[in-house]
Amino acid sequence: MSRRPMLLRRLVLLMVIVPVLCSLSFISAAVALVPMWADQDPSGMKELIGSVTGIKTVTNYSLGLELNDKVTTSGLDPTIVAFNIEAVTWIETNYTYKIDLGMPLAIYQGESDSGANLGSCVDGIAAGMSNPNISPSREHAAALKLLSRWAQFGVRNTDPVAAKYIWPSYSNYQGHCSAGELSYDGFLATTFLSICEKYLVNHEDARLNACDPWDLRTSAFAKSLYLMEIGYKAGLSDEQAFAELSGWNHDGPYRLRLIALAKDYNQKVGSYTPIVVTNDSLVGQNDEFQAFVVGFLGDYGLLPGEGPDSSFGVTSQEWLPKEKLVQRYLGVTQTFHDLRYDDPNHTGIDIGCYLNDYIYAVADGYVVETKYPIWDYSATGWGNVVWIDHGGGLWTGYYHMSTKPLVLPGQWVKKGDPIGLCGTTGHSTGTHLHFEVRTVEPAQTPYAHWQGIIDPTNMFGSLIDPATYGTK
């Protein structure tokens, strides 16, 4: 038998193996050098990550617990209030133009019944072109430009609400039937496109650049920017406000209703401290490649941004009460090792909450894991989950989130920061948060569901010393 085929096989193997080994050696060397570079040139590191992955640095905000309680007690949605405070504060800072908080909140209520009605006309373009009071050709052209931008940014992949209202082909959208209006705040396509092109496409907050009107933050900014455009501002008399709001809607009774609602909301919220920066994070279009890169960098502690001081893992922390872990607390639906359901292995406590309400971090810490379906993690029953390392060998887990988590691996979060949305993914029979505490790092034992489990029942609202529980 000829030796030629064997020699050829060996040659082919060498041609494959040698480059792979060289590549692995290069990657190992690069990984070893990256932490040194990150320490010496954090801004350069951040710029490189952004250029390679398309992920940009943005700022996250929070109402804070005190204002959150005040807003919730008033019957308002803290999420909506936070985004609108952010928008009016940004406009006042950058344009020296003050818009009272009440009017943006009134428009959110008046245009979509606080998000309950986003339009039932499946062919939004046709609805926009059928209104006799607007130019059909301009509305059509504006809608197509917006659809093109949404496709460019892949907003159907990043925003579950947009995925419901934008056609899969990005050729049309579902809107209100009177004029094909978009989103929670009822924008005409032409109006929203003008705000998009003038303000949002180059805004320093990368999350606004896609001009996604179904994104609550984007809609809040667009609405207040348009109020500035038409001349509405804080301090106007009712007669002046009525006149300026004609740029929003020509219907007289509707404008009077907005003015009354705005007064009511201003009174309910009262004076407030502008929302504060809670952390810096890297966000982008969140496709699988970006998620992998961010997860890899986070695992090695290479994500630049705000973090803890040297006392991390040593200082005791007061944890949130269980009632503050979710936006609207509906009670404990299942206890730790709950024998009522013949479930002695229930490894946490379940807290009832409304679908897509915020879930908050119980204490300061590093996000060590975020898992959702593209990682094929559903076998554990966790669904979409976040794990936070609080130092000293103590971790907390937040299960069954409705969508991808709001935070990234390696990100530093503070107590009360929103980290995800309440849902029922994974092994779940209803919308709730399963909250769990461990002394064994979840990444090391992803399927050992019973290892290092602590009963969290008496930890909420208490001063927790990790040394008491942890193993580090």
Residues 315 and 385 reside in one and the same domain: yes
What are the backbone dihedrals phi and psi of residue 215, each rounded to the nearest 5 degrees, phi first?
-85, 125
Residues 145 and 232 reside in one and the same domain: yes
3 state DSSP class of 454: strand
Those residues whose C-beta lies under 8 Å from the C-beta of residue 20, and which sit 6 or more positions away, are: none
- CA–CA separation, 251 and 248 (whole Å): 9
| 194 inside domain | yes
DSSP annotation string for 23-61: HHHHHHHHHHHHHHHHHH-HHHHHHHHHHHH--EEEEEE
Residues 142 and 67 reside in one and the same domain: yes
pLDDT at 379 over 50: no
Residues 246 and 296 reside in one and the same domain: no
Residues 299 and 195 reside in one and the same domain: no
CA distances 144 to 18, 33, 128, 190, 194, Å, are 51, 47, 12, 10, 13
Those residues whose C-beta lies under 8 Å from the C-beta of residue 392, and which sit 6 or more positions away, are: 313, 314, 465, 466, 467, 469, 470, 472
The tokens describing 97, both together, are 């133009």
Q: Which of 435, 13, 39, 61 is nearest to 220 (CA)?
A: 61
State which amino acid sits at residue 309.
Answer: D
CA distances 446 to 376, 438, 440, 451, Å, are 12, 12, 10, 10
Residues 191 and 311 reside in one and the same domain: no
Positive or negative CA dihedral for 281, 283, 286, 289? Answer: negative
Higher pLDDT, 141 or 4: 141
Q: Which residues pair with 173 in a beta bridge?
A: 166
Last residue of a domain, one of 240, 269, 298: 269
230 within 8 A of 177, measured Cβ to Cβ: no
- Mean pLDDT, the chain, rounded, equals 79
Last residue of a domain, one of 242, 269, 296: 269
Query: Whose structure tokens read 């398309």?
Result: 54
| 185 inside domain | yes
Q: Which residues pair with 423 in a beta bridge?
A: 432
Residues 397 and 464 reside in one and the same domain: yes
pLDDT at 375 over 90: no
Residues 293 and 259 reside in one and the same domain: no
CATH of the domain at 422: 2.70.70.10
| 43 inside domain | no
DSSP annotation string for 257-281: HHHHHHHHHHHHH-S-PPPEEEEEE
State which amino acid sits at residue 300.
Answer: Y
Rg, the chain, Cα only? 25
Residues 336 and 253 reside in one and the same domain: no
Those residues whose C-beta lies under 8 Å from the C-beta of residue 83, and which sit 6 or more positions away, are: 216, 217, 219, 220, 221
Q: What is the mean pLDDT of residues 343-372?
A: 82
Residues 302 and 259 reside in one and the same domain: no
Residues 199-211: b if buried by 16+ CB within 10 A, e if exposed: bbeebebbbbbbb
| 224 inside domain | yes
Determine the length of the chain. 472
pLDDT at 298 over 70: no
Confidence of residue 378 (pLDDT cuts 50, 70, 90): very low
| 204 inside domain | yes
Q: What is the mean pLDDT of residues 165-184?
A: 94
Q: Which of 284, 302, 218, 265 is nearest to 107 (CA)?
A: 265
| 18 inside domain | no
The tokens describing 93, both together, are 């800072």
Query: Whose structure tokens read 């607007």?
Result: 134
pLDDT at 26 over 60: no
Residues 310 and 236 reside in one and the same domain: no
- CA–CA separation, 246 and 252 (whole Å): 8
Four-point Cα dihedral 84, 324, 279, 421, nearest 10? -70
Residue-level pLDDT at 265: 93
| 338 inside domain | yes
Please tell me the total count of domains within the chain: 2
Residue-level pLDDT at 374: 37
pLDDT at 306 over 50: no
Residue-level pLDDT at 133: 84
pLDDT at 305 over 50: no
Among 180-189, 224-233, 410-419, the least confident range: 410-419
Q: What is the mean pLDDT of residues 274-297?
A: 54
Last residue of a domain, one of 222, 240, 269: 269
| 69 inside domain | yes
464 within 8 A of 316, measured Cβ to Cβ: yes
Residue-level pLDDT at 55: 56
Q: What is the mean pLDDT of residues 343-369?
A: 84
Residues 238 and 355 reside in one and the same domain: no
pLDDT tens per residue, range 74-87: 788 777 888 899 89
Range of the domain at 294: 284-469
Query: Whose structure tokens read 């320093």?
Result: 204
pTM above 0.75, yes or no: no
pLDDT at 187 over 90: yes
pLDDT tens per residue, range 50-63: 666 555 555 556 66
Higher pLDDT, 376 or 229: 229
Confidence of residue 440 (pLDDT cuts 50, 70, 90): confident
Q: How far is CA 199 from the centre of its chain?
A: 21
3 state DSSP class of 230: helix
pLDDT at 416 over 50: yes
Higher pLDDT, 472 or 93: 93
The tokens describing 145, both together, are 């430009």
